[in-house]
Amino acid sequence: MTGRFITLEGGDGAGKTTQAELLTAWLEEHGRTVVRTREPGGTDLGVRIREIVLHERGHIAPRAEALLYAADRAHHIETLVRPAIARGDVVLQDRYIDSSVAYQGVARGLGAEHVRSVSEWAADGLEPDRTILLDLDVTVGRARVAAARGDTFDRLESEAAAFHETVRRAFLDMATADPERFLVVDAAEPADVVQQAIRSAIGPLVGIDEG
Ligand code: TYD
């Protein structure tokens, strides 16, 4: 089997975890080996970096924040993702370089191109075969996170609504610029409708033909 690298992107509360679980089950039913992972925090080292970037109490300089995400990514891609793709697995990853571009590059104002090039260097140029963008109104996403977890927001989630609006816009702009790689799904639809759209797009990539 040919290894594949599929990434999921979107704001908080868009349903990435639910969709990843449903897609994993479907891929496994069709005999594919799936590695589900995430950034930040897909490795033991990454879990420690995740703790810093999401829960550090004091200020983190924006460039340091960008480099922490990049450090997590460098280690994760080299030690976990590339070996899985080389084995022929399907890697289904929650967040990747596009998140750094949207959050640090655009919303934090560090510059989309700078942040993308740092991340591409960190990942030694690994590109996703397909990126699923779960697009959702910011207020709706926030309400979903609050309902699921109570009002405990991490460092990034605690940013103002305008920050998250900027993130949303940045993701949509990236999708428009690269329609071959991105599939944009309306995450306000019921979970099974969203999942169907994802399966239709991913099926041909992983050799599953449901007719
Ligand atoms: P995520 O794991 O999706 O959060 P949760 O599991 O709490 O839903 O992502 C953690 C946060 O990190 C999220 O707010 C987005 C942010 N993030 C960046 O700012 N830059 C990045 O490069 C990545 C990967 C995530």
Q: Is the CB of 4 under 6 A from ligand 1?
A: no
**Residue 189 included in any domain:** yes
Q: What is the mean pLDDT, run by run of 10 residues, along the chain of 211 residues?
A: 96 94 98 98 98 95 98 98 98 98 98 98 98 97 88 84 96 98 98 98 92 54
- Total domain count, the chain: 1
Is there an atom of ligand 1 within 6 Å of 100 CB? Answer: yes
Residue 210 lies in a domain: no
Instruction: With respect to residue 179, please indicate whether it lies within any of the assigned structural domains.
Output: yes
What is the three-class DSSP state of 134?
strand
| Ligand 1 in reach of 65 Cβ (< 6 A) | no
| Residue 162 confidence (pLDDT) | 93
Q: What is the CATH number of the domain that holds 89?
A: 3.40.50.300
Instruction: Write down the pLDDT at residue 34.
Output: 98
- 188 within some domain: yes
- CA 91 vs CA 12, 156, 188: distances in Å: 21, 25, 25
Query: 5: which 2 tokens?
Result: 């690298």
Residue given tokens 């959050």 in the structure block: 103
Flag whether 211 is in a domain.
Answer: no
Say how far apart CA 152 and CA 43 lie, in whole Å.
Answer: 24
Query: Cα separations (Å) of 141 from 11, 55, 164?
Result: 7, 20, 10
> What domain range includes position 142?
4-205
Does 61 fall in a domain?
yes
